Structure 1
Amino acid sequence: MKRKPWQKILSIPLVLFFTIPAIAMNNFPRNPEQIEECDILVIGGGLAGAGAAYEALLMGKTVCLTEITDWVGGQISSQGTSALDERSTQRQELFFPKGYLEFRDRIGDFYGKLNLGECWVSASCFLPKDADYILERQLQDAARKGNGTLKWFPNTVIKDVQIERVENGGTGEQIVSAIAISHKPQPNTPPLNSEPLSQIIEDAYTYEDSSRLKKTVIKFVPPQNDNLEAKAHWMVIEATETGEIIGLTDIPYRLGIDPLSAYEPSSSSRTPDPYCTQGFTYTFAMEKTETPQPQPEPEFYQQYAPYYSYELERLADFDLVFTYRRIYKAQPSERVTFGGIGFTTPTPGDIAMQNWTWGNDYRPGTSVDNLIYSREQLEAMGQLQPHGWMGGLRTETLSKGEQNAIGFYHWLVAGTTDSQLGDGVKKPHPDHIFLTGFDSPMGTAHGLSKYPYIREGRRIIGRPNYAHPDGFTVNEVDISRVNYDDDYYKETLTPQEYRQLRAILAGLEGFGVISGEISPDQAPKRSRSTIYADSVGIGHYAIDFHPCMSESPHEKPGNTEREGERRGQGQAYPFQMPLSAMIPQKIDNMIVAGKSIATSHIAAAAYRVHSFEWSSGAAAGTTAAMALDKNILPYEFTEGFAFRNPHLQTLKTILDSNGNPTAFPNTSIFNEDWDGWR
């Protein structure tokens, strides 16, 4: 078989652990070499950031879009999870935001089919490198169509923000400028993406040039404007994967597990735990070959081998795992079934992307190995001091996640153990190669995704209102289909908490439960999610957990998932995205999109998939553009009663008319049964 230029067998010690020249760790600021003006600064080029840029460009705005990698799209490109997670009813109805549907159509046009890989987990699996190409052109076309201007800044991180109180500027402060560091390789050094993220991230956040990276310091500012009546001269959209700007600006947020309560009744802890977030994943691509290939064992493999597993007997089939997220199908093949799941058998030339819970997921959960630093840790490290921000991630844990992913490939092709199912289950499958190279599906010399798929980051606490005096949050009970009749809830919650839970679930009859007119056990239960008058987007997905592990390190033999973390897992009703969840406290010209909106730990497990990220971005971009046009601040859309707020009603009309739905069809407050949506 003729091998493509990017197909080669992985040489792990040489490729993954390329030695980086020493970097200067002194962290002193320097004057910007470049000043960039924009109406809207979108920080984070994932799907939420792309959705925000897309809508703002169509509304004629100048958008600066920054991204730590050199690919736009996040999950579908630089993070490698190029299999669209969609619920069946929403997919059948094609009830998605316009820009997301356009991307799906462009995928179909590009390949001549929507599901290039014939994967069984999704209706659309494709190559990450192609997703970057397709989405970048979609944004360029949006700029032309809307007479907007797109300024794209790949390989760029935000280092500092300037926050001030602005005259005419509302109740709080505003971001008036942002300092970024853009990097490229020094002459006579390897191209970017030669080494994995852990080996370059600290250099990327350091002002000084190093022997590896040449830096350009960029200052982002609003356009020069003499309008003294303007409440804000620009808007900033936080769309990073971890809520990075939330941490940097130190606005109120949550991280990790929320405490058990009537609103979060399936929580595994009575106290907050910022260290236990969902697992993160470095994806990779592997190709089936005609003949067995050499499979050298990584020097660290035995350290991670005790973790790997098919997880469940109904999933314990190599071909099923390979085709789960297969992103390229080389030739037709027969259809088979295993564990009730149908798929076409792998053939030589097929390429699979791997994203497996008991495989390349890395799931730290303690204060000594958590990936996303807590506020207390950031403060102790000096990252909240001026010029001290270094991205807020633990480099050592990133590195272990990279090793864990490489080890999982070796387990797939050569492993014979299974941590959950025991001996005799796992067989070697050496007729595969690990794909590396700059033209490979992941676009990296080492073969791992450019950035890990991070399922959960910092989540803002929205502004207080009459129903949420401690700050707005979308909670578990707002979306979950969990059976709360289970005795566990009555036995675990206090009597007061249990009564409050049943009142919440009773919907319009909740006041009767609170007053005592209706017994909690006799109270009716609504069959829908919470309806928000300020909804600006939609989503639908299961509450899907990849729980942290109980002990450190993640790969410790015999380690188990944190007890109780999967209790809240299960189906969710189609849900809305309230604008109140996107408006942070303290900073008046910032809007949050993507995974970092105001949700609880359990609700966040559903509010993280592809179409939702785009929907949240579309809402953020539209809100930011309209706020500038109307000379109002984002929080003013949510003031007072929603139905009497003309700004909010106009915003919702614009969103709906532009093809960005704010509610699912036939899901009103008068329809208590949404069970048909699956």
Structure 2
Amino acid sequence: MTLDRRSFLRIAGGLTGAISCTPWLLADAPEQSGEFAADVAIIGGSLGGCAAAIAALRRGLTVVMSEETDWIGGQLTSQIVPPDEHAQIETRGANASYRKFRRDIRAYYRDHYPLTDAAKSQTNLNPGGGSVSRLCHEPRVALAVLTEMLAPYQNSGKLTLLLEHVPVQADMQGDRISSVTVRSLNKGSEQTLTAPYFIDATELGDLLPLTGTEYVTGAEAKADTEELHAADVAAPANQQAFTVCFPLQFVAGKDFVGDRPADYDFWRDYVPALTPPWSGKLLDLSYSSPRDLKPKKLGFDPTGAATPGSLNLWLYRRILNTANFLPGSFAGSATLVNWPQNDYVLGNLIDVSEAEKQKHIHQAKQLSLSLFYWLQTECPRSDGGAGFAGLRLLPEMTGTTDGMAKYPYIRESRRIIAETRITELHVGAEQRSVITGQSGKQLKAKSFADSVGVGSYHIDLHPSSGGDNYIDFASLPFQIPLGAMIPRRIENLIPACKNIGTTHLTNGCYRLHPVEWGIGEAAGCLVSFALEKKETPRGIRSAPDKLADFQRSLTAEGFELAWS
């Protein structure tokens, strides 16, 4: 099912002078139930799912991809989180396609936005100037770029995209998936997807329980993983916080204060019950510093004034800086709120009833709405006053009516029980030092002979539903082993996101944007290679000559398989 190309851009009323995009490639849901057959079915249009689709399509395969929301792109778009990346991302430590994707985002701003001459001349333009990343940008721009990348394949009929569809059933033949049924959230119609291979690119690993693929959740026990920082007792329901993110704009001299959120009194006085203890109330500019868990003061001031805290949260994830655009283009700068203050720890979204899942999403949204109201009315100011009434939500930026993200920001998924389980012993700096007796420049993460990519990020676990405070410690630049992408039993299911064979701890460094892209791209290439060679992924990994051929094909397409 394809659509003729419609206008790629439209002028939107929301932000003063802003240009926003409406994606045209996204397919309308079929009116009636039916069947789609392809070389690969990708369940979930996450960032990893998009990378998998692009890789498979680039290699000549046909693809059908479903997505729960009406935006593809996952954490960059429907979850509106600008990329978290390592310091060397501009030149190394990611696939060539990911760096091209980043260049395309910058080019989109140059081509479509009213940038100043100074901003246009910046090779490594950072549109928002946020400190969390060298590329802080609006979610709709990432959506536009992904849309453009996939457009030729949908117009040629190689790609079928089913938006607002969720998987509801899988049919199995022994250890193989024969079909997956997805249901339209709007119309209730069902589509049966058949393919030789299925990629789980959902945010929560939703295909794993439907297919009977063995998986784990939450925290493993130290006796099981032998990890230095692991829990003494396994706790499958002890999962990282998720967050309903939202963007804010500040317009000086305006008053946008509205009604108090329904649950504001609860969240204003809420103190997280964590061990070690949190710094105090959640809605406060103090928090527990992730590395040592001592109370730490943060700052917040959207006016440009200096803040007393060590970090001005307004600048941290700023995704639109008016200084980069011609005067009058925007009413004010905008920042993305994904902070300790709106991390939700009162329940999980995995392996609970649909009613409980929706309850927790609703409560997490109430937390974010309460944080917004607190910033408008009670947040301490450097002049001794309270609140910034000129803050407003940006529904035109999120594509929602309430200005909240379409989907919660997910940090932890179901994880397959894989042929290779990546543990702290492989990537944790402290534990690697003990194991190897090395330190300094000699200290390296474990080298995997079956590497299909690289990444780098510290092990970063946010407070959890089981009552853990931050778990945050150093890791080493690492590889993505193919064995972590192959389930121990199911033959034709490949993970493409945070659902690979990590542990609760190592998920904390494998969950970020460039790594998820690398996992997804490897998944798409693996399916193509398996079909071409008429071999299973397990067979490719276990045969040295086939594995070497596969890795050579990845290198030829711009994959980095090792850190030099």
Give the TM interval when normalised to the shorter protein: 0.7 to 0.9
Name the stretch that deviates more: 124-133 or 619-628: 124-133
Partner residue in 2 for 1:562: 468
Among candidates 236, 240, 247, match of residue 274 of structure 1: 236
Offset from partner CA, 1:248-279 (integer Å, 9 cap, x none): 22322111111124844343521111111111
Describe the SS at the equivalent of 2:461.
coil
Among candidates 449, 460, 465, match of residue 544 of structure 1: 460
Distance 1:239 1:414, change over 3 A: same
Q: Distance in 2 between matches of 1:85 and 1:141?
A: 29
Query: How is 1:119-138 mapped onto 2 (pairs within 5 angstroms)?
Result: 119-138=130-149
Distance 1:315 1:483, change over 3 A: farther
Partner residue in 1 for 2:449: 533
Offset from partner CA, 1:162-201 (integer Å, 9 cap, x none): 0003xxxxxxx111011111233xxxxxxxxxxxxxxxxx
Offset from partner CA, 1:430-474 (integer Å, 9 cap, x none): 1211122xxx111111111111111001111113xxxxxxxx310
Q: Distance in 1 between matches of 2:465 and 2:160?
A: 41
Deviation at 1:134, TM superposition (A): 1.2
Partner residue in 2 for 1:428: 387
Query: How is 1:147-166 mapped onto 2 (pairs within 5 angstroms)?
Result: 149-165=158-174
Query: How is 1:412-491 mapped onto 2 (pairs within 5 angstroms)?
Result: 412-416=375-379, 427-436=386-395, 440-463=396-419, 472-482=420-430
The answer (yes or no) to whether the contact 1:506–1:524 under 8 Å persists in 2 is no
Describe the SS at the equivalent of 1:69.
coil
Q: Distance in 2 between matches of 1:443 and 1:86?
A: 25
Deviation at 1:372, TM superposition (A): 1.4
Q: Distance in 1 between matches of 2:164 and 2:153?
A: 22
Query: How is 1:593-672 mapped onto 2 (pairs within 5 angstroms)?
Result: 593-639=496-542, 645-664=544-563, 666=564
Deviation at 1:74, TM superposition (A): 0.4
Describe the SS at the equivalent of 1:137.
helix
Distance 1:596 1:332, change over 3 A: closer
Q: Distance in 2 between matches of 1:56 and 1:393?
A: 36
Offset from partner CA, 1:552-608 (integer Å, 9 cap, x none): xxxxxxxxx526x52xx1222111011110011221111112101000111000001
Describe the SS at the equivalent of 1:605.
helix
Describe the SS at the equivalent of 1:88.
coil
The answer (yes or no) to whether the contact 1:462–1:582 under 8 Å persists in 2 is yes
Partner residue in 2 for 1:110: 108
Distance 1:483 1:425, change over 3 A: farther
Query: How is 1:301-312 mapped onto 2 (pairs within 5 angstroms)?
Result: 301-306=264-269, 307-310=282-285, 311=287
Deviation at 1:95, TM superposition (A): 3.7
Q: Distance in 2 between matches of 1:424 and 1:268?
A: 45
Mark the runs of 5 or more structure 1 residues left unpaired by the alignment. Answer: 9-30, 166-172, 185-213, 223-233, 334-346, 382-389, 464-471, 486-501, 508-522, 551-560, 667-678
Among candidates 319, 326, 330, match of residue 327 of structure 1: 319
Q: Distance in 1 between matches of 2:385 and 2:217?
A: 37
Partner residue in 1 for 2:344: 362
Among candidates 189, 192, 195, match of residue 219 of structure 1: 192
Describe the SS at the equivalent of 2:237.
coil
Describe the SS at the equivalent of 1:124.
coil
RMSD over aligned Cα atoms: 2.8
Deviation at 1:7, TM superposition (A): 5.6
Partner residue in 1 for 2:299: 316
Deviation at 1:120, TM superposition (A): 1.4
The answer (yes or no) to whether the contact 2:379–2:388 under 8 Å persists in 1 is no
TM-score by length of 1: 0.68
The answer (yes or no) to whether the contact 2:201–2:497 under 8 Å persists in 1 is yes
Q: Partner amino acid for 2:77?
A: S
Offset from partner CA, 1:266-321 (integer Å, 9 cap, x none): 43521111111111111111111121414132121111113223225452233421
Describe the SS at the equivalent of 1:454.
coil
Q: Partner amino acid for 1:174?
A: R
Q: Distance in 2 between matches of 1:621 and 1:545?
A: 28
Q: Distance in 2 between matches of 1:238 and 1:473?
A: 18
Partner residue in 2 for 1:242: 204
Q: Distance in 1 between matches of 2:322 and 2:383?
A: 31
Describe the SS at the equivalent of 1:318.
coil
Deviation at 1:417, TM superposition (A): 7.5
Q: Distance in 1 between matches of 2:380 and 2:265?
A: 11
Name the stretch that deviates more: 32-41 or 529-538: 32-41
Deviation at 1:534, TM superposition (A): 0.6
Deviation at 1:405, TM superposition (A): 1.0
Q: Percent identical across equivalent pairs?
A: 29
Deviation at 1:482, TM superposition (A): 3.1
Q: Partner amino acid for 1:96?
A: A
Q: Distance in 1 between matches of 2:32 and 2:549?
A: 39
Deviation at 1:68, TM superposition (A): 0.3
Q: Distance in 2 between matches of 1:425 and 1:316?
A: 13
Q: Distance in 2 between matches of 1:462 and 1:549?
A: 25
In the alignment, structure 1 residue 139 sits paired with structure 2 residue 150: yes
Distance 1:576 1:405, change over 3 A: same
Q: Distance in 1 between matches of 2:52 and 2:324?
A: 39
Q: Distance in 2 between matches of 1:483 and 1:34?
A: 52
Name the stretch that deviates more: 288-297 or 36-45: 288-297
Name the stretch that deviates more: 408-417 or 620-629: 408-417
Query: How is 1:510-525 mapped onto 2 (pairs within 5 angstroms)?
Result: none
Q: Partner amino acid for 2:373?
A: H
Describe the SS at the equivalent of 2:169.
strand
Q: Distance in 2 between matches of 1:425 and 1:181?
A: 54
The answer (yes or no) to whether the contact 2:93–2:454 under 8 Å persists in 1 is no
The answer (yes or no) to whether the contact 2:177–2:211 under 8 Å persists in 1 is no
Q: Partner amino acid for 2:538?
A: Y
Among candidates 338, 346, 352, match of residue 335 of structure 2: 352
Partner residue in 2 for 1:489: none
The answer (yes or no) to whether the contact 2:94–2:453 under 8 Å persists in 1 is no
The answer (yes or no) to whether the contact 2:284–2:379 under 8 Å persists in 1 is no
TM-score by length of 2: 0.82
Describe the SS at the equivalent of 2:460.
coil
Mark the runs of 5 or more structure 2 residues left unpaired by the alignment. Answer: 1-10, 17-30, 111-119, 270-281, 288-294, 303-311
Q: Partner amino acid for 1:371?
A: L
Partner residue in 2 for 1:182: 184
The answer (yes or no) to whether the contact 2:262–2:366 under 8 Å persists in 1 is no
Q: Distance in 2 between matches of 1:562 and 1:45?
A: 31
Describe the SS at the equivalent of 2:191.
strand
The answer (yes or no) to whether the contact 2:93–2:456 under 8 Å persists in 1 is no
The answer (yes or no) to whether the contact 1:506–1:526 under 8 Å persists in 2 is no
The answer (yes or no) to whether the contact 1:257–1:267 under 8 Å persists in 2 is no
Describe the SS at the equivalent of 1:441.
helix
The answer (yes or no) to whether the contact 1:60–1:143 under 8 Å persists in 2 is no
Describe the SS at the equivalent of 2:510.
coil
Query: How is 1:183-198 mapped onto 2 (pairs within 5 angstroms)?
Result: 183-184=185-186
Q: Distance in 1 between matches of 2:106 and 2:153?
A: 19
The answer (yes or no) to whether the contact 1:582–1:591 under 8 Å persists in 2 is yes
The answer (yes or no) to whether the contact 2:51–2:517 under 8 Å persists in 1 is yes
Among candidates 582, 587, 597, match of residue 490 of structure 2: 587
Q: Distance in 2 between matches of 1:484 and 1:106?
A: 37
Deviation at 1:370, TM superposition (A): 2.6
Question: How many residue pairs align between the two structures?
Answer: 493
The answer (yes or no) to whether the contact 1:43–1:240 under 8 Å persists in 2 is yes
Distance 1:115 1:416, change over 3 A: closer
Deviation at 1:125, TM superposition (A): 1.1
Q: Partner amino acid for 1:152?
A: L
